[in-house]
Structure 1
Amino acid sequence: MKTTLQTNIVETFKNLSEIHSKFSETALNTVPFEGSWTAGQTTQHILKASSGYAALFLGKTEKTNREPDLYIKDLKALFLNYDIKMESPDFLLPEIIDYDKEKQTLELLNREADLLTLSAIHDLTLTCLDFQLPGFENFTILEWISFTLIHTERHTHQLNEIYEIVNKV
């Protein structure tokens, strides 16, 4: 389970880093169309959404009395449905500023390293009790890390679309 999860972490962040690296500093901060986030804002949203796991995993947990990956299928069905427009909770909204590409690149590398470490040192089957995604029961550590990977995959898709728009001549 841990090896597969770590492979998924590496692959997800590789895909994200590849598209992020294609943006020039200017394109990273260009609004592709009215009402859209810039690539920099989208990346910042990913960084915010994939943080805080160390504290969550060290918080209150309990032994899980169900399959530890039960909600992953539901998360994929929801977050990888690109026809659904979702609203971010306020605490995950990116600031409306120009973002530094190099700083974000380093933060992405750090986030990947953090997730790899957390997945290696924690019992992935424990259920976390300190935070709950609206509409779901409490997640296991495996489901939380999987959530961040699925959420990142959704926004990597969005970054690819933004790239195509801002680089049209």
Structure 2
Amino acid sequence: MKAELQKNVIDTFKELNYKLASFSETELNTVPFEGSWTAGQVIQHLIMGCSGFPEMCAGKTEKKSGKPDQKVKDIEALFFNYDLKMKSPEAIIPSDITYNKNTLTLSLLKIEKELLNVSETYDLTLTCLDSEVPGFGKFTIYEWVSFALIHIQRHLNQLQAIGKVVIEK
């Protein structure tokens, strides 16, 4: 379970970094269409949403019965339904500013390292008691890391769509 999760972290961040690299500084900060975030804002949203895992996992936890990946299929079903338009929680809405590609890249590298460290050093079957996702309740550490990766994968689809509009051919 641990090795598979770590491979998923590496593969997901490799794809995300590759996608980020495909945007120029200008393209990164270009609004593709009305009502959309820029690619930079999408990446910043992911940074905000995937930060703080070491602190959360070091908080209150408990062993619960059930499978440690019990909620992953439900998370995937929701996040991989691209017909569903989701509204971001206020706490992870990115600012409408000009984003720096290098700064975003460094932040992503830090988060990747943190998620790899969490998946290596913590008992993935423990349930985190200090945080939860509305509609899902409390997650195991395995589910939290999976949630972050599924969240990234959903937005990779969005970055692909933004790239089709703003990247000069």
Normalised by the shorter chain, which TM-score bucket? Answer: over 0.9
CA displacement, residues 28-54 of structure 1 (integer Å, 9 cap, x when unaligned): 000000000000000000000000111
Matched, 1:54 2:54: yes
CA displacement at 1:61 relative to structure 2: 0.5
Which residue is equivalent to 2:124?
124
Return 5+ residue gaps in structure 1 as ranges. none
Aligned partners of 2:142, 2:154: CA distance in 1, in Å?
18
Which residue is equivalent to 1:38?
38
Which residue is equivalent to 1:100?
100
Report 1:10-25 matches (<5 A).
10-25=10-25
TM-score with structure 2 setting the length: 0.98
Which residue is equivalent to 2:150?
150
Aligned-partner SS, 1:127: strand
Aligned partners of 1:109, 1:54: CA distance in 2, in Å?
15
Query: Which amino acid counterpart does residue 3 of structure 1 have in structure 2?
Result: A
Aligned partners of 2:83, 2:10: CA distance in 1, in Å?
26
CA displacement at 1:55 relative to structure 2: 1.1
CA displacement at 1:167 relative to structure 2: 2.2
Q: Report how many residues are paired.
A: 169
Report 1:59-138 matches (<5 A).
59-138=59-138
Which residue is equivalent to 2:167?
167
Query: Which amino acid counterpart does residue 144 of structure 2 have in structure 1?
Result: W
Aligned partners of 1:166, 1:82: CA distance in 2, in Å?
20
Aligned partners of 2:168, 2:109: CA distance in 1, in Å?
28
CA displacement at 1:109 relative to structure 2: 1.1
TM-score with structure 1 setting the length: 0.98
Aligned-partner SS, 2:41: helix
CA displacement, residues 46-71 of structure 1 (integer Å, 9 cap, x when unaligned): 00000011111011100021111000
Query: Please, what is the CA RMSD of the aligned residues?
Result: 0.8
Aligned partners of 1:112, 1:11: CA distance in 2, in Å?
10
CA displacement at 1:110 relative to structure 2: 1.1
* Superposed structure 1 runs of 4+ greater than 4 Å apart: none
CA displacement, residues 2-28 of structure 1 (integer Å, 9 cap, x when unaligned): 000000000000111111100000000
